[in-house]
Amino acid sequence: MKSDKYKPTYILIALNVAIYIAGTIVGGNAIETGDEVVLVWGQVNSFVFQGAYWQLFTSMFIHASIFHLVGNLLFLLIFGLRGEEMFSLPEYLGVYFLGGLAGNLLSLVFGPNFISVGASGAIFALFGACIIYDRRSVRQSILGAVVFAFFLFFINTGEGVNILAHLGGLVVGLLLGYIIAARRKPEQQVNYQFQYRTTPF
C-alpha cells in the first residue's frame, strides 16, 4: 500500500516540529513548553469537562519538552514509515488519530486535575496496527504480536508517563490493524508482503 504521492509520516513530523517551535516563541523557552501553551492546547481534563473538547485533538501535537518531542518523533518515524507500507492514506490517518483520540479520552479517567500532552497514544496505535496487520496478513497467530505489543507497553511505563493514553492508543491500533487485514483481499495482502519484505527498514 506504499504511496509515493503522500508521506503522512513526514507531514506529521513537520507539523509537530512547527507547532513546538511556535510554542517556544510564545513561551520564550526552547527546552520546555510554557504553561500558556499547555493550558490552551494541551489536554487539561478540568477544561475538557467544561467544554474544551478541542484539547482532545490538539494535545496530540503539543509536547512537554524538546526531549519529549524528539523521543516521540523517533518512534513516529519508525512505525509511521512501516505503516505507510501497509495502509492506505485514509487507513493510516484513521489509525493515528482514532488511536490518539482514544488514548486521550481514556485519560479523562485520571480526573479533573490531570494534564497530558504528546503524540504517544497515536504512535502506540500505529505500532499496534502494524504488528497485528503483519501477522494477520500472513495468516499466522496474532498471540505473539499481542504479547510483544503489551511487553513494549509495560516497559514504557514510569513516572510522568500517561499510561492510559498509551493503553488506549495501543488497543485501538491492535483492533484497527486486525480489521484492516481481515477485510483486505488476498491479492492485496500478497502485494503487501512483497513490498514489506523488499523495502529496507
pLDDT tens by residue, 40-66: 999 999 999 999 999 999 999 999 999
Catalytic residue among 59, 107, 137, 166: 166
Catalytic residue among 107, 120, 137, 141: 120
Identify the pLDDT of residue 103.
94
- CB under 8 A, 24+ apart: contacts of 24-30: 30/66
141 is catalytic: no
Per-residue pLDDT reduced to its tens digit, 176-200: 999 998 887 655 554 444 343 333 3
What is the pLDDT averaged over residues 57-86? 93
88 is catalytic: no
Domain 8-198 has what CATH class?
A: mainly alpha
Among candidates 131, 144, 147, 146, which has minimal Cα distance to 181? 131
Determine if the pTM surpasses 0.85: no
Identify the pLDDT of residue 156.
59
Domain boundaries, the chain: 8-198
Four-residue CA torsion sign, 134, 137, 139, 142: positive
Q: Residue 110 is placed in which grid cell?
A: 485520571
Task: Indicate whether 160 pLDDT > 70.
Answer: no
